[in-house]
Structures are given as C-alpha cells and as structure tokens.
Amino acid sequence: MSTQSIVPPPPIVGELQAIFDALPDDELLAQLGSDSKQLGRPKYPVDVLWRCYITYYSLGLDSISALLRLLSDNPFIAGVCGIPDAESMPSQPTMSRFVAKLAQRRFLVTLRDVQRALTQILFDTLPGFGKSVAIDSTHMRAGATPTRRASHGEAPSDANDLRSAR
C-alpha cells in the first residue's frame, strides 16, 4: 500500500490542478516544445517544467531551490506537476534554463497572450474586476542621507529631510 493512498492530498494540490486546467497555455507549450534546444538531461517534457514554474509563481516561493525542495518534500505537489518520483526531478540548472528560455523575446508575445487571456477570464467572471485599484502606502526609508543633502544646499525631499534641515 503506498503512502499516497493512505494520506489524502493537501488542498493545494486541487488548487494547483485547477490553475493548470484554467491556463490557456496550449499555444505557449506548443511553441516551447517545438524549440530544438534540449532542456536538461534527460530531456524534460515542457509541460512538466511549465507546471513547476507555475507552482513556483503561484506559491510565491523565494527561489528555484525552494521550489525543488518543495517538490522533493511533497510527492503530491510533485505528482500534480507531472513528476512521478524523486529520480525524475528536474535539476536547478534545468529549471533556471527553462525560466531564462521563457524570458526570451520569441516567447514573450505568446506568454503575454496567456496573461491577457487570464485577465479576460477574470474580467468576464468577476463582476467589478478592475474597477478599483488599491495602493499600498507603507512607509519605506529612503536610501538618501538627509543630512548630507541638506548640508549641500539641496531641497529636502521628505519629512525626515525637513526635520534634519532645521
């Protein structure tokens, strides 16, 4: 009896599968798959690398290394990405090459088309989507040194500069 049959998959697996199913990415995958360059050894299917990248982006992971640790530690998430076992895990250089490939000019238009199609789906599905915009007004320290600027006779640019210029 396997571990996966005893332990139910975490909810994120269903959420990731729903994201994969909703992505209008057929043209992008066809374009990536028709590229003659091999991505890693052995050659990984483009859809597996794409799903790994979407997982990386969807979960807001810090790095490709964090993604690979997650896939290694969680066979459910690896499985939904199309990775059947630990031996089939893509390497860090393979994932990095794939991300670099996505950034190439020849794929940008198709990638933007996927984003536009997703935005249109949201616009059609969610009433009021895009009608409001929120702005974060979190205070952030400036990289400038206020006392140096004030001593050189430059105009202060924020409240801290005003206090130090007095």
Angle, helix 64-73 to helix 92-102, in steps of 10 degrees: 130
Task: Provide Rg for the chain, Cα atoms.
Answer: 23
How many percent of the chain have pLDDT more than 70?
A: 77
According to the model, what pLDDT value does residue 83 have?
95
> Could you give the CA distance from residue 26 to residue 67 in angstroms, rounded to a whole number?
23
What's the whole-number mean pLDDT along residues 10-26? 94
Q: Which amino acid is at 61?
A: L
Burial of 43 (0-12, 13-18, 19+ CB in 10 A): exposed
* CA gap 16, 22 in Å, rounded: 10
Residue 112, amino acid: R
Least confident of 3-12, 62-71, 81-90: 3-12
Give the tokens for residue 61: 């992971």
Q: Can you tell me the distance from the alpha carbon of 75 to that of 65, in angstroms, rounded to the nearest whole number?
A: 16
**Tokens representing residue 29 in the block:** 């995958």
pLDDT attached to residue 77: 96
Q: Average pLDDT, stretch 147-151?
A: 55
Residue 156 has pLDDT above 70, yes or no: no
- Cα separations in angstroms, 118 against 95, 99, 101, 112, 121: 24, 20, 21, 10, 5
pLDDT at 81: 97
